[in-house]
Amino acid sequence: MSSYFTDLAQQYIDGEWCTGTGSWDVIDFNPYNDEKLASITVATADEVDQAYRAAARAQKQWAATNPYTRRAVFERALRLIEEREQEIADLITAELGGTRVKAGFELHLAKEFLREAIHLALRPEGKILPSPLDGKENRVYRVPVGVVGVISSFNFPFLLSLKSVAPALVLGNGVVLKPHQDTPIAGGTLIAKILEEAGLPGGLLNVIVTDIAEIGDAFIEHPIPKVISFTGSDEVGRHVATVCARDFKRAVLELSGNSALVVLDDADVDYAVDAAVFSRFVHQGQACMAANRVLVNRSIADEFTEKFVAKVRTLTVGDPRDPRTVIGPVINGTQANVISGAVEQALAEGATALVQGTISGNLIGPTVLTGIPAGSSLLRQEIFGPVVFLIPFDSEEEAVRIVNDTPYGLSGAVHTGDIERGVAFAKQIETGMFHVNDGTVHDEPLVPFGGEKHSGIGRLNGETTLEAFTTTKWISVQHGRTGFPF
């Protein structure tokens, strides 16, 4: 694994591994022990330009390549990931503090999405549509958009990068990928290395490790990319969307969430507790779908709270390399300070801590808060860490109102003994995804993934990925002669 941090601490432009020409370095730290893993000299705006131009040059021939040939590259990539699964899991644990369970979860999903990308190669279909004009043949072709810019997040970097990179490439596009600066290897250069070894022609995938402090908006406003696929905060996503709209680019935005898990009065309490604990504390709560809020019908609130708190107290906090660890470090000190500040604000506003985790560096123990005032801004925002709010309610109508009282609408869940009651409840929630009798954290290759409100624009997975990274082109053929009016 250590060789990854040595060999892949570079830029990957036009099929060549090279050193950035910026004046400073991105330092890749292990968030658990602050070990320096890698140092990467940042790419400049000029290198962003080189990467996009390389992708554009390579894309034309790649788009004309037989889709069965394109598919074979990703079949080989899947085999390489399977062969190196333990090494990649170790890298995820080191670079982003993912526990063993989290690393396995991410790799399982990454392989599933890569399998779907392999099938996607043969999915684009054309149509012949009827015309009101005699002798007119209307052909509608589905073609690659050209070049796609991908910006991925730090929390599930290997999965989230592959989720856009693989389908965009297999559909005949070129790609420039900018991974998060906290996870440049797992989210960036490791993927380039795997695809290079799998036989992807040089220039089609370029990985730029840099920061907006160096390049400003050069990555998103460059004239070559036709689609920008961004995963991150809604604040940055708003800016990406603004630039894309100004420059007539398509934006696919997977943004923040403030999901709720709702426990109705007829729920299986023990099962709901298990689902709620996982939904909030998976990967230290650093998941856009995580359940920030757990709403419980007041008639079962005491029982649920007692069992929930008891289970949370059993969660082991510590070294993510230890298989017993459930909660490892958050990604960096800035995030730790933000989470700590949110807890302090909640307590100052009158909330009660049923469990208050200790903070040691980037390690934050799980915190369970109740009694937070209904008007608190904390209830309407995303907290990207192991902190959860327990909220009682008296009626389904009240629960629906509370769940929807947020700018976000990504995921959520409801627990009930009556499935159709759960579905009826789910239909009232302003989200892109909602789950009955399950957790809030789910992603599947065939099901449209995305949010409403401030949680994003567009969808990925399955047919929606096809729509995201291709476009349609109408070519008409006139058999015989058209009669023109003049």
Mark whether 209 and 286 lie in a shared domain. no
- Please give the tally of structural domains in the chain: 2
For the chain, what's the residue count?
Answer: 486
Phi, psi angles (nearest 5°) of residue 184: -70, -25
Cα dihedral across residues 340, 346, 349, 350: positive or negative: negative
Same domain, 382 and 347: yes
267 within 8 A of 418, measured Cβ to Cβ: no
Answer whether residue 176 is part of any domain.
yes
Q: Which two tokens stand for residue 392?
A: 């009682």
In a domain, 447, yes or no: no
Q: Give the tens place of pLDDT for each residue, 215-262.
A: 999 999 999 999 999 999 999 999 999 999 999 999 999 999 999 999
Catalytic residue among 95, 106, 116, 254: 254
Convert the pLDDT of each residue in 162-177 to its tens digit.
999 999 999 999 999 9
427-457 confidence digits (pLDDT tens): 999 999 999 999 999 999 999 999 999 999 9
Q: Do the beta carbons of residue 111 and residue 81 sit within 8 Å?
A: yes
Percentage above 90 pLDDT, the chain:
99
293 and 247 together in one domain: no
The answer to whether residue 449 sits within a structural domain is: no
C-alpha span between 376 and 365 (Å, rounded): 23
Shared-domain flag, residues 367 and 401: yes
Q: Do the bridges between strand 352-355 and strand 250-254 make them parallel or antiparallel, or are there none, so unpaired? A: unpaired
pLDDT at 382: 96
pTM for this prediction: 0.96
My answer on whether 204 and 266 are in the same domain is: no
Is 418 within the bounds of a domain? yes
Instruction: Encode pLDDT of 320-336 as tens digits.
Output: 999 999 999 999 999 99
Is 314 in the same domain as 229? no
Rounded Cα gap, residues 427 and 403, in angstroms: 12
Q: Quick check: 107 and 451 in contact, CB under 8 A?
A: no
- Clarify whether residues 302 and 418 are in a common domain: yes
d(CA 136, CA 481): 10
- Residues 389-433 have pLDDT tens digits of 999 999 999 999 999 999 999 999 999 999 999 999 999 999 999
**Is the separation of the CB atoms in 155 and 287 below 8 Å?**
yes
Structure tokens at 478: 């006139």
Active site residue 244: no
Distance CA 202, CA 247 (A): 28
Report if residue 92 sits inside a domain: yes
Residues 59-91 pLDDT 10s: 999 999 999 999 999 999 999 999 999 999 999
- Residue whose tokens read 């059993």: 314
**Residue 27, domain member (yes or no):** yes
HSE value, Cβ hemisphere, 13 Å, CA-based, for 132: 0
Chain Cα centroid distance, residue 479: 48
- Supply the range of the domain harboring residue 299: 259-436
CA 272 remoteness from chain centre: 25
Residue 371: inside a domain, yes or no? Answer: yes
Spatial contact of 409 and 430, defined as CB atoms under 8 Å apart: yes
Q: Are residues 199 and 272 in the same domain?
A: no
Residues 102 and 249 in one domain: yes
Based on the fold, state whether residues 218 and 308 are members of the same structural domain: no
- The answer to whether residues 416 and 292 belong to one domain is yes
- Which of 95, 116, 288, 382 does the annotation list as catalytic? 288
Contact 232, 156 (CB under 8 A): no
Q: For 5-62, what is each residue's pLDDT tens digit? A: 999 999 999 999 999 999 999 999 999 999 999 999 999 999 999 999 999 999 999 9
| Predicted confidence band of residue 160 (pLDDT cuts 50, 70, 90) | very high
Same domain membership, residue 153 and residue 129 = yes
18 flagged as catalytic? no
pLDDT for residue 3:
87
CATH of residue 284's domain is 3.40.309.10
Distance CA 202, CA 58 (A): 8
The pLDDT score that the predictor gives to residue 1 is 63
Q: Which residue has the tokens 């420059």?
A: 247
CATH of the domain at 63: 3.40.605.10
